[in-house]
Amino acid sequence: MNDELKPYKNILANVARHVTLTESEKELFCSLLRPKKLRKRQYLLQEGDVSRYETFVDKGLLRTYYLDHNGIEHILQFSPENWWTSDLVSFNTGKPSKLSIDALEDSELLQIDKPGMDLLFGRVPKFERFYRIQFQNALVAYANRVVSHLAESAEERYLELSGHCVGLENRIPLKYIASYLGVTPEFLSRLRRKLTKKK
Protein backbone atom coordinates (compact mmCIF):
# COMPACT_ATOMS: atom_id res chain seq x y z
CA MET A 1 0.00 0.00 0.00
CA ASN A 2 1.01 3.52 -0.82
CA ASP A 3 2.68 5.02 2.28
CA GLU A 4 0.47 8.09 2.19
CA LEU A 5 -2.57 5.90 2.61
CA LYS A 6 -1.29 4.12 5.72
CA PRO A 7 -3.08 6.44 8.14
CA TYR A 8 -6.25 5.39 6.33
CA LYS A 9 -5.67 1.67 6.66
CA ASN A 10 -8.73 0.99 8.80
CA ILE A 11 -11.21 3.03 6.86
CA LEU A 12 -10.02 1.59 3.55
CA ALA A 13 -10.39 -1.91 4.93
CA ASN A 14 -13.87 -0.97 6.04
CA VAL A 15 -14.83 0.32 2.60
CA ALA A 16 -13.26 -2.73 0.98
CA ARG A 17 -15.80 -4.93 2.76
CA HIS A 18 -18.40 -3.74 0.28
CA VAL A 19 -16.71 -2.12 -2.73
CA THR A 20 -13.37 -2.59 -4.46
CA LEU A 21 -11.44 0.59 -5.17
CA THR A 22 -8.50 1.27 -7.47
CA GLU A 23 -5.42 3.01 -6.06
CA SER A 24 -6.45 6.34 -7.51
CA GLU A 25 -9.96 5.99 -6.16
CA LYS A 26 -8.52 5.27 -2.75
CA GLU A 27 -6.41 8.40 -3.00
CA LEU A 28 -9.38 10.50 -4.01
CA PHE A 29 -11.47 9.12 -1.18
CA CYS A 30 -8.77 9.69 1.43
CA SER A 31 -8.13 13.20 0.18
CA LEU A 32 -11.72 14.03 1.05
CA LEU A 33 -11.40 12.82 4.62
CA ARG A 34 -10.77 15.18 7.48
CA PRO A 35 -9.18 13.83 10.64
CA LYS A 36 -10.69 14.91 13.93
CA LYS A 37 -9.80 14.12 17.49
CA LEU A 38 -12.32 14.11 20.27
CA ARG A 39 -11.56 14.06 23.97
CA LYS A 40 -13.69 11.99 26.31
CA ARG A 41 -17.02 13.74 26.99
CA GLN A 42 -16.69 16.06 23.99
CA TYR A 43 -19.63 16.35 21.64
CA LEU A 44 -19.45 15.29 18.04
CA LEU A 45 -23.03 16.43 17.50
CA GLN A 46 -25.47 18.19 19.78
CA GLU A 47 -29.23 18.00 19.59
CA GLY A 48 -30.41 20.90 17.47
CA ASP A 49 -27.28 21.03 15.32
CA VAL A 50 -27.23 19.81 11.76
CA SER A 51 -25.17 16.69 11.18
CA ARG A 52 -22.75 17.83 8.48
CA TYR A 53 -20.44 14.82 8.37
CA GLU A 54 -20.39 11.12 8.07
CA THR A 55 -17.90 10.01 10.68
CA PHE A 56 -15.71 6.94 10.80
CA VAL A 57 -14.32 5.93 14.18
CA ASP A 58 -10.66 5.04 13.69
CA LYS A 59 -9.93 4.75 17.39
CA GLY A 60 -12.00 5.25 20.53
CA LEU A 61 -15.67 4.98 21.30
CA LEU A 62 -18.70 7.20 20.73
CA ARG A 63 -22.31 7.03 21.80
CA THR A 64 -25.46 8.31 20.13
CA TYR A 65 -28.31 9.19 22.43
CA TYR A 66 -31.72 10.78 22.62
CA LEU A 67 -32.72 13.18 25.37
CA ASP A 68 -36.35 12.63 26.36
CA HIS A 69 -38.86 15.17 27.67
CA ASN A 70 -37.75 14.40 31.23
CA GLY A 71 -34.14 15.11 30.38
CA ILE A 72 -33.16 11.46 30.54
CA GLU A 73 -30.62 10.11 28.06
CA HIS A 74 -31.44 7.01 26.04
CA ILE A 75 -28.54 5.48 24.18
CA LEU A 76 -29.36 4.34 20.67
CA GLN A 77 -25.94 3.26 19.53
CA PHE A 78 -22.36 2.69 20.57
CA SER A 79 -19.75 3.31 17.87
CA PRO A 80 -16.37 1.72 18.59
CA GLU A 81 -13.45 1.50 16.16
CA ASN A 82 -14.35 0.72 12.57
CA TRP A 83 -17.92 1.90 12.88
CA TRP A 84 -19.56 4.77 11.08
CA THR A 85 -21.77 7.21 12.84
CA SER A 86 -23.82 10.37 12.18
CA ASP A 87 -27.44 11.32 12.30
CA LEU A 88 -28.28 9.93 8.87
CA VAL A 89 -31.56 11.81 8.75
CA SER A 90 -30.17 15.19 9.71
CA PHE A 91 -27.23 14.68 7.35
CA ASN A 92 -29.52 13.96 4.43
CA THR A 93 -32.28 16.45 5.12
CA GLY A 94 -30.19 19.28 6.52
CA LYS A 95 -32.61 19.56 9.41
CA PRO A 96 -31.53 19.90 13.05
CA SER A 97 -30.76 16.63 14.72
CA LYS A 98 -32.84 15.23 17.53
CA LEU A 99 -29.90 13.12 18.62
CA SER A 100 -26.60 13.87 20.29
CA ILE A 101 -23.29 12.10 19.82
CA ASP A 102 -20.36 12.33 22.21
CA ALA A 103 -17.17 10.51 23.08
CA LEU A 104 -16.98 7.91 25.84
CA GLU A 105 -13.22 7.67 25.29
CA ASP A 106 -10.62 9.87 23.64
CA SER A 107 -11.24 9.15 19.98
CA GLU A 108 -9.75 9.62 16.55
CA LEU A 109 -12.19 10.14 13.73
CA LEU A 110 -12.25 10.58 9.98
CA GLN A 111 -14.98 12.74 8.54
CA ILE A 112 -16.40 13.42 5.13
CA ASP A 113 -18.86 16.22 4.49
CA LYS A 114 -21.79 16.40 2.09
CA PRO A 115 -19.95 18.21 -0.72
CA GLY A 116 -17.22 15.60 -0.39
CA MET A 117 -19.75 12.81 -0.62
CA ASP A 118 -21.38 14.35 -3.68
CA LEU A 119 -18.04 14.73 -5.40
CA LEU A 120 -17.23 11.14 -4.53
CA PHE A 121 -20.56 9.87 -5.84
CA GLY A 122 -19.97 11.75 -9.10
CA ARG A 123 -16.48 10.39 -9.65
CA VAL A 124 -16.84 6.95 -8.09
CA PRO A 125 -20.45 5.87 -8.47
CA LYS A 126 -19.89 2.56 -6.67
CA PHE A 127 -19.71 4.60 -3.50
CA GLU A 128 -23.42 5.13 -3.79
CA ARG A 129 -23.74 1.42 -3.26
CA PHE A 130 -21.54 1.63 -0.22
CA TYR A 131 -23.63 4.41 1.23
CA ARG A 132 -26.87 2.63 0.51
CA ILE A 133 -25.54 -0.39 2.37
CA GLN A 134 -24.69 1.82 5.34
CA PHE A 135 -28.23 3.10 5.30
CA GLN A 136 -29.64 -0.40 5.10
CA ASN A 137 -27.47 -1.60 7.93
CA ALA A 138 -28.69 1.23 10.10
CA LEU A 139 -32.28 0.31 9.26
CA VAL A 140 -31.68 -3.35 10.05
CA ALA A 141 -29.96 -2.48 13.31
CA TYR A 142 -32.92 -0.40 14.45
CA ALA A 143 -35.44 -3.01 13.32
CA ASN A 144 -33.55 -5.67 15.26
CA ARG A 145 -33.60 -3.51 18.34
CA VAL A 146 -37.34 -3.01 18.07
CA VAL A 147 -37.77 -6.76 17.82
CA SER A 148 -35.46 -7.38 20.76
CA HIS A 149 -37.59 -5.09 22.89
CA LEU A 150 -40.78 -6.78 21.74
CA ALA A 151 -39.51 -10.32 22.08
CA GLU A 152 -36.87 -10.41 24.79
CA SER A 153 -36.34 -9.76 28.48
CA ALA A 154 -33.63 -7.42 29.72
CA GLU A 155 -31.48 -10.43 30.53
CA GLU A 156 -31.71 -11.75 26.98
CA ARG A 157 -30.99 -8.32 25.55
CA TYR A 158 -27.92 -8.02 27.74
CA LEU A 159 -26.60 -11.42 26.71
CA GLU A 160 -27.21 -10.57 23.09
CA LEU A 161 -25.30 -7.32 23.41
CA SER A 162 -22.36 -8.85 25.23
CA GLY A 163 -22.29 -11.80 22.84
CA HIS A 164 -22.52 -9.59 19.77
CA CYS A 165 -19.92 -7.04 20.80
CA VAL A 166 -17.49 -9.10 22.84
CA GLY A 167 -15.30 -6.90 25.00
CA LEU A 168 -17.63 -3.96 24.72
CA GLU A 169 -19.47 -4.86 27.90
CA ASN A 170 -16.33 -4.43 30.01
CA ARG A 171 -15.26 -1.30 28.21
CA ILE A 172 -18.46 0.65 28.57
CA PRO A 173 -19.51 1.87 32.02
CA LEU A 174 -22.47 -0.03 33.37
CA LYS A 175 -24.81 2.92 33.48
CA TYR A 176 -24.46 3.46 29.74
CA ILE A 177 -25.14 -0.17 28.98
CA ALA A 178 -28.20 0.08 31.21
CA SER A 179 -29.35 3.12 29.24
CA TYR A 180 -28.86 1.23 25.98
CA LEU A 181 -30.81 -1.76 27.25
CA GLY A 182 -33.58 0.37 28.69
CA VAL A 183 -33.15 -0.69 32.32
CA THR A 184 -31.93 1.05 35.47
CA PRO A 185 -28.27 0.79 36.47
CA GLU A 186 -29.34 -0.89 39.72
CA PHE A 187 -31.17 -3.59 37.86
CA LEU A 188 -28.33 -4.27 35.45
CA SER A 189 -25.96 -4.54 38.39
CA ARG A 190 -28.13 -7.24 39.96
CA LEU A 191 -28.50 -8.93 36.58
CA ARG A 192 -24.75 -9.18 36.18
CA ARG A 193 -24.31 -10.61 39.63
CA LYS A 194 -26.95 -13.23 38.91
CA LEU A 195 -25.26 -14.16 35.62
CA THR A 196 -21.77 -14.51 37.12
CA LYS A 197 -23.16 -16.70 39.88
CA LYS A 198 -24.72 -18.99 37.31
CA LYS A 199 -21.38 -20.00 35.82
Least Cα distance to 135 among 84, 76, 61 occurs for 84
Question: Which of 107, 186, 195, 199 is close enough to bind DNA by CB under 7 A?
Answer: 186
Task: Please state the closest distance from residue 80 (CB atom) to its own copies, in A.
Answer: 19
Q: What is the CA radius of gyration of the chain?
A: 18
Question: Should residue 32 be labelled a site residue for DNA when binding is judged by CB under 7 A?
Answer: no
Region for residue 71 given its phi and psi (left: phi exceeds 0; alpha: psi -120 to 50; beta: otherwise): left
In the list DNA, its own copies, none, the entry touching 192 (Cβ below 5 to 8 angstroms by class) is DNA
**d(C-alpha 57, C-alpha 37), whole Å:** 10
Which partner in its own copies, DNA, none is near 175 (CB below 5 to 8 A by kind)? DNA
C-alpha 72/C-alpha 66 separation (Å) is: 8
146 is a contact residue toward its own copies (CB under 8 A): yes
- C-beta of 92 vs 148, nearer to DNA: 148
Closer residue to DNA, CB minimum distance, 73 or 108: 73
Q: In what order do the strands lie in the sheet with 34-38?
A: 34-38, 107-113, 53-59, 84-85
Greatest pairwise CA separation for the chain in angstroms: 57
Q: Which of 13, 171, 173, 195 binds DNA (CB under 7 A)?
A: 173
* Chain residues in the site for its own copies (CB under 8 A): 66, 68, 72, 74, 76, 88-89, 92-93, 132, 135-136, 138-140, 142-143, 145-147, 149-151, 179, 182
* Chain residues in the site for DNA (CB under 7 A): 153-155, 173-175, 182-193
